[in-house]
Structure 1
Amino acid sequence: MRDALVTRSTPPLGTDETRELAARRPSGRESGCVSRNWAPAPRRQPERKRTDASARRPYRHHGRARSPNAPCLALGLLLVLSGACGSPTSRAFSSDDPVGLRIGYAEPHATSADYGPGFAFVLSLLSDARLVTTAANGRARAGLAERWEASPDGRTWRFTLKPRLRFHDGSPITAATVVRGLSSRLEAPAPLYPGLRDITKVEVLSATEFVIRLREPSWLLLEALSFEAVRGNRTAGGGAGPFRLERQEATAATLRRVDGNHRGSPAIDRITMRAYPRPRAAWAALLRGEIDLVYDVAPEALPFIERARQVQTRSFLRPYVYALGFNLRHPLLQHHDVRLALNYAVDRETVIEQAMAGRGQAASGHISPEHWAYDPGVTPFPYRPDRAAALLAKANGDRERPAFTCLVPSRDPRLERLALLLQRQLIEVGVDMDIEVLPMSAMHARLARGQFDAYLLDVAAGKDLNFPYWFWRSGDEVPLAASGYTAADAALDRLRYAQTVTSAEIAIHQFQRILHDDPPAVFLCWGETTRALSTRFTMAEGFEGDLLSMIADAHRASSQSGADGNPVGTASSP
């Protein structure tokens, strides 16, 4: 369940920051029935004017502070850009040339099991298919299943597959195949997404139809199915996505297009993918024309990447919310007023400016602001240090200075910088936050056992509601974080068993309001991520969202302008 909590893809932390994190101690403290087939720097003063949180496109925070690493990064990237300008001109191409796309996956220590989604996750996006997909706003869309409907009592769901579906090896995708795979998933020892936990039986009706029977109605079912890849076998030919995995190594892979795929035949013939040991190496390779797409461009590098004529960028909010979460069993953090005070004590705009290079959006909770049922009336806490100090004085009285320890995953520079920034902000209202850095695997184990005061993570929210339910519903057999928080249980259960759009929306709004009024965490912000794509390729007009999820629809551009403004041929045979 490591991937359920956090992913990262950021540059290494500078040595000065590492020493500060290891050595610094806070001042002031001594050391010691319904159908659901939906249609497809200096601190500013607290009275300063706020940016409107509803203005989310593009997701750029104006007036951002400069990154501490900007001078070095600027020099390095300017050198790269100057080298790229001297690259040889590509030959002209014909429409018969094979179209190759080269992807650079930039992740620190990419071969470590302690990190992020890794190669397997990205390859699955390209080579696998699912019964249901999820739009950026959280609504379910057709995948391998072309339609579905629920019985009046919400306990029986009937699915119909698209006709003539096949796996990469040519074998047919039938209802029996789907039922066999889903049944195996339900019997596996791995924890189930909440939306799959009410399934009692899966039955074949015909070659293209099957039913899922539930013990209780489940609003989370369709969303949970969007996480489950439909596979025929464990070989490379067992997938059903637009590209077939041809070769895979530890840090490289090759995929070929699949003609007659249910989504249509991709315009790209071949994809090669390579992992880079550092993000900067991938950015440099893109600017030199050695690759065509960088999976993740860090916010502090984006201004330089955007200046390159041969690169186009697509930015969007990551489906992860940065949160300082609390253990409500802690003698200090169990107090409602203390948790409110910590929310007022954090300057989210400064967090976005300094830790996210100005690219992000302040968070009010664990529901994505892009979700169809998001309630914009639940707004982020304002920065009110005076209010924070008053609430702390009321809750703490004459007792010793408030203090707690925050767990932070190692080898994640962005979270480490964020921890230091939060530490400084909390000191200003009289709270000491010690920082304990540990490997992600050890951190997950501590969270699941409830052995923590607080934690700092970018917590999965997804485009759906399974992760928020899993994270905050108490009593889970396999908790993601055993925090002792129970205030949202009733709202989450109403959401899980909702049968109509209206009842689900009401439950989501209640859940948002509860997380705000009785906060289990300081929800900081939604970070922005960027894919960088060579101008050799074009996307459909009006396209929004994650570029990688729609890369099968990309086409090669007919020509592009060189540095002198003259057309340059853009062919590249794989």
Structure 2
Amino acid sequence: MRTGLVPAALGLLFLGGCGNLSDEPPLDSASPPAYDDSFIESSIGDASYLNPVLSSDSASGSVNGAVFNGLVKYDENIHITGDLAERWEVSQGGRVITFHLRKGVLWHDGAPFTAEDVLYTYERLKDPDVKTPHSSNFDKVLKVEAPDAWTVKVTYSEPYVPALESWGMGIVPKHVFGGAKGKDFNEHPANKSPVGTGPYRFKEWKVDEKIVLEANPDCFEGRPHIKRYIFRVIPDNSVEFLELRNKSIDTMLLTPDQYRAYGEFFEGYKRYRLPRGAYTYFAFNLGRPLFRGRNVRLALAHAVNKAELVDAVVMGLGRSASGPFLPLSWAYDPSVKDFEYDPALAVKLLAQEGWKDSDGDGILDKDGKPFAFTVVTNQGNKMRSLSAEIIQQQLKKIGVRMDIRVIEWSAFIKNFVDKKNFDALILGWTISPDPDQYSIWHSSQKKEGQYNFVGYGNPEVDRILEDGRREFDPQKRKRLYQKMHRIVHDDLPYIFLYYPDYLPVVHRRVEGIQMAPLSTFGFGWNFDKWFVREKNVRYPVRTAQ
């Protein structure tokens, strides 16, 4: 649950376990914290790369966040603080950052962490043959130097606002990779058996089953209390919920219907409701002829009833979305008027593009071809699957046939998203506190494995993203991103669906949880400080599976 840079506290609703606890043994509150319990977290999909330079999915990010450290990270108040760097100075008008690294930090294999590892990580991020989605965060870097083993000097071509945040990227060990470059780095065995500096060491990975980490007793941040951290892959949300009810896992994300039914089904857990730094979207592959014309996308936007989605999918635990920024963000433009649900207008717009039901079969056609496409989404996410089913019925009303394909997570990312092998998809983004979304929306970010997989390009948005990275005046920057909100909303590369609340549960024996809400990352930001008292240990390491 721990990641490099984590969003932080902007409001929290905590609800203690709502069931009848009479069948649960009372928890001890006096014994000291133990060092031998295990914590089992479920994941709907397996990781792809246990390497922060290469990974782009949330499953990989969760594991990498426990194994690796960046130079900096966010604290619970959304302030950047030191991680592998204990301090830094910014000079030359924001063009130079000098990081002073912590001394005595060890990689999990006992080798010392030094500035050479930072240089190596940067070189791989800028290596054109390395499949990283993060290279654009370092486009303005002119050079990275290591005056000595404990100092890193980064020089930028111009002042760059997200510069400090970008160094939350996990640092990888040069000696483990043997200086590998390009394809050799992409395919290195260490991507499946990582060595980091973080609070947890890699133990084993059984593909599509589980990843096991163990506490790092030599961690510079202090020895974690939870001895073993197990990520279980449970691709079906219903099975995941059953495992929770059987107390076979310690935490999961509830769907809204599970959250609403909480008190009726199980006991022994604490649940939380937090504002979530994320949104769910219905995106079009703009490289497909069917979706190149804005009028077609506009018609579909008028055919999607977001109010129905919020009621049926989010169940009021969230709100409809209008763009790429969160309502709590200063970059959000509240004046953006979303597209109204208007099926009649949708039919009219499609008719203008030549789509009519010429054969009376209920499906629009043009030049002898039906208006039909397939939307893909990932297995295990009940909310996305339900959203697809509801949208399918909404589009059917205007004569559009949308088929649904649900795909296992890692195959979904590698074979469909990364390769742009889709007509449309339903997915979500978790957003950083800083509104810079260059990697998602800039037209230069369309290569395989990068985040602009829909193929969006707008020169004005490109300019805004570039200007936003060098504009330090908060009000000017706000105006830039609010303008981008309006443009991206109107261009319709996505139909932005909803901002869901974040609904995690944790076994009640776990203490030390400090919330830094607003995102998936905010929950568990201090996981290395969570603990279980000796008399409450549930899965001692000697018997943990």
Instruction: Give the SS at the match of 1:539.
Output: coil
CA distance in structure 1 between the aligned counterparts of 2:316 and 2:478, rounded to whole angstroms? 31
CA distance in structure 2 between the aligned counterparts of 1:390 and 1:233, rounded to whole angstroms? 63
Residues 1:432 and 2:390 are matched in the alignment: no
CA shift digits 1:153-208 (9 cap, x unpaired): 54432222245433334443332332233224433522352112333321012343
Residues 1:367 and 2:325 are matched in the alignment: yes
**Cα pair distance change 1:277/1:446, threshold 3 Å:** closer
Cα offset for 1:411? 3.7
Instruction: Give the SS at the match of 1:476.
Output: coil
Instruction: Give the SS at the match of 2:66.
Output: helix
Q: Output the amino acid matched with 1:205.
A: P
Tell me what 1:521 maps to.
Answer: 494
Cα offset for 1:508? 1.7
Alignment of 1:488-567 (within 5 A): 488-540=461-513, 543-544=516-517, 546-556=522-532
CA shift digits 1:399-432 (9 cap, x unpaired): 974735243146456334322211222343x351
Instruction: Give the SS at the match of 1:130.
Output: coil
**Cα pair distance change 1:306/1:266, threshold 3 Å:** farther
Alignment of 1:368-383 (within 5 A): 368-378=326-336, 380-383=338-341
**Percent sequence identity over aligned pairs:** 21
Alignment of 1:182-261 (within 5 A): 182-187=122-127, 189-193=130-134, 194-231=136-173, 234=176, 238-250=195-207, 251-259=209-217, 261=219
Residues 1:570 and 2:536 are matched in the alignment: yes
CA distance in structure 2 between the aligned counterparts of 1:39 and 1:57, rounded to whole angstroms? 13
CA distance in structure 2 between the aligned counterparts of 1:163 and 1:355, rounded to whole angstroms? 50
**Cα pair distance change 1:406/1:358, threshold 3 Å:** farther
CA distance in structure 1 between the aligned counterparts of 2:117 and 2:47, rounded to whole angstroms? 33
Cα offset for 1:506? 2.9
Residues 1:326 and 2:284 are matched in the alignment: yes
CA distance in structure 1 between the aligned counterparts of 2:468 and 2:122, rounded to whole angstroms? 24
Cα offset for 1:369? 3.4
Give me the TM-score of the superposition, normalised by structure 2. Answer: 0.73
Instruction: Give the SS at the match of 1:556.
Output: coil
Q: Output the amino acid matched with 1:408.
A: V
**Cα pair distance change 1:406/1:165, threshold 3 Å:** same
Instruction: Give the SS at the match of 2:402.
Output: strand
Tell me what 1:98 maps to.
Answer: 35
Instruction: Give the SS at the match of 1:324.
Output: strand
Cα offset for 1:461? 4.2
CA shift digits 1:85-109 (9 cap, x unpaired): 767778898327435132132426x
Cα offset for 1:312? 0.4
Tell me what 2:453 maps to.
Answer: 481
**Cα pair distance change 1:504/1:286, threshold 3 Å:** same
Instruction: Give the SS at the match of 2:443.
Output: coil
CA distance in structure 2 between the aligned counterparts of 1:526 and 1:136, rounded to whole angstroms? 22
Whether the 8 Å CA contact 2:279–2:498 is kept in 1: the answer is yes
**Cα pair distance change 1:501/1:139, threshold 3 Å:** farther
Q: Output the amino acid matched with 1:228.
A: G
CA distance in structure 2 between the aligned counterparts of 1:227 and 1:106, rounded to whole angstroms? 22
Instruction: Give the SS at the match of 1:239.
Output: coil
Alignment of 1:47-66 (within 5 A): none
RMSD in angstroms over aligned alpha carbons?
4.4
CA distance in structure 2 between the aligned counterparts of 1:489 and 1:398, rounded to whole angstroms? 36
Cα offset for 1:379? 5.6
Whether the 8 Å CA contact 1:195–1:224 is kept in 2: the answer is yes
Instruction: Give the SS at the match of 1:537.
Output: coil
CA shift digits 1:251-276 (9 cap, x unpaired): 34544434564434434344344444
CA shift digits 1:325-360 (9 cap, x unpaired): 234566664444543443333221211232344433
Q: Output the amino acid matched with 1:421.
A: I
Q: Output the amino acid matched with 2:455.
A: S
Question: Which of 106, 121, 142 is the aligned partner of 1:166?
Answer: 106
Whether the 8 Å CA contact 1:128–1:231 is kept in 2: the answer is no
Whether the 8 Å CA contact 2:12–2:273 is kept in 1: the answer is no
CA shift digits 1:417-461 (9 cap, x unpaired): 322211222343x35143263757578666667676x41221434
CA distance in structure 1 between the aligned counterparts of 2:246 and 2:284, rounded to whole angstroms? 45
Question: Which of 363, 385, 388 is the aligned partner of 1:419?
Answer: 388
Instruction: Give the SS at the match of 1:244.
Output: strand
Whether the 8 Å CA contact 1:130–1:229 is kept in 2: the answer is yes
Tell me what 1:301 maps to.
Answer: 258
CA distance in structure 1 between the aligned counterparts of 2:48 and 2:67, rounded to whole angstroms? 22
CA distance in structure 1 between the aligned counterparts of 2:94 and 2:506, rounded to whole angstroms? 44
Q: Output the amino acid matched with 1:238.
A: V
**Cα pair distance change 1:529/1:385, threshold 3 Å:** same
Cα offset for 1:151? 3.7
Give me the TM-score of the superposition, normalised by structure 1. Answer: 0.70
Gaps of 5+ in 1: 1-36, 41-54, 61-77, 559-568
Gaps of 5+ in 2: 50-54, 177-189, 359-363, 366-370
Cα offset for 1:523? 0.6
Instruction: Give the SS at the match of 2:503.
Output: strand
Q: Output the amino acid matched with 1:550.
A: N
Cα offset for 1:389? 5.4
Instruction: Give the SS at the match of 2:126.
Output: helix
Alignment of 1:18-29 (within 5 A): none
CA distance in structure 2 between the aligned counterparts of 1:342 and 1:210, rounded to whole angstroms? 50
Whether the 8 Å CA contact 1:156–1:211 is kept in 2: the answer is yes
CA distance in structure 2 between the aligned counterparts of 1:542 and 1:287, rounded to whole angstroms? 24
**Cα pair distance change 1:329/1:206, threshold 3 Å:** closer
Q: How many residue pairs align between the two structures? A: 489
